[in-house]
Chain A
Amino acid sequence: DVKVTQSSRYLVKRTGEKVFLECVQDMDHENMFWYRQDPGLGLRLIYFSYDVKMKEKGDIPEGYSVSREKKERFSLILESASTNQTSMYLCASSQRDRGLIWGNEKLFFGSGTQLSVL
């Protein structure tokens, strides 16, 4: 069974702390994504990666960075956590279409990390 695992289900941090959210997938997928889920705002893309050491900004990258040193692992970093980054963070992965057509790959999501910044 395919699996995307996020390291923490709940996380509480202080304002100004550096925060690492880890995600691991076991499906050998090329693409990995970090989304943020907020009530009334849906899912918003923070960053994505289509290959090891590659990264692209999504719609709301400010205040975040990412790292992908290995194919199966994609980390989201909050350099200096702020209260407005309190949210549910979802990691996802997808298999790249061999025809290099984006946009219709099935996304596999992890169960999410609920981050509270106090």
Chain B
Amino acid sequence: QQQVKQSPQSLIVQKGGISIINCAYENTAFDYFPWYQQFPGKGPALLIAIRPDVSEKKEGRFTISFNKSAKQFSLHIMDSQPGDSATYFCAASITSGTYKYIFGTGTRLKVLA
């Protein structure tokens, strides 16, 4: 119930391609879904986030697609660049009454030049 399942574990994409990372959850009480980006040697940093009242959120080349009925959400990176090579974590939380995020297991993305 509390898990967030993330796939794939690793991903290799050519420069200019589209990177897609998927997450699925069970707990329908989750109502906030952020993505964190982590470069080697650094801590994760918030990349983009979505609430379930919208089906899509776009910030530059990064888009979150949200499917409430399927309990799935995904991160799309358009025109992927070598500088996007990082580990990406999805997460979910309940914005009232709890303190914590449930993180996915992470996806290591490598964008080839």
Contact = CB atoms under 8 A, between A and B. Distances in A.
Interface stretch (A14-22, A63-71, A78-86, A103-111): A103-111
Given A42-B6, A42-B105, A103 B95 contact: yes
Interface in A88-118: 90, 92, 101-104, 106-112
A101 B32 CA distance: 12
Contacts of A59: 100
A11 interface: no
B108 to A, nearest CB: 9
Contacts of B89: 42-43
Contacts of A43: 44, 89, 101, 103
A58 interface: yes
Contact of B99 (A4, A103, A110): A103
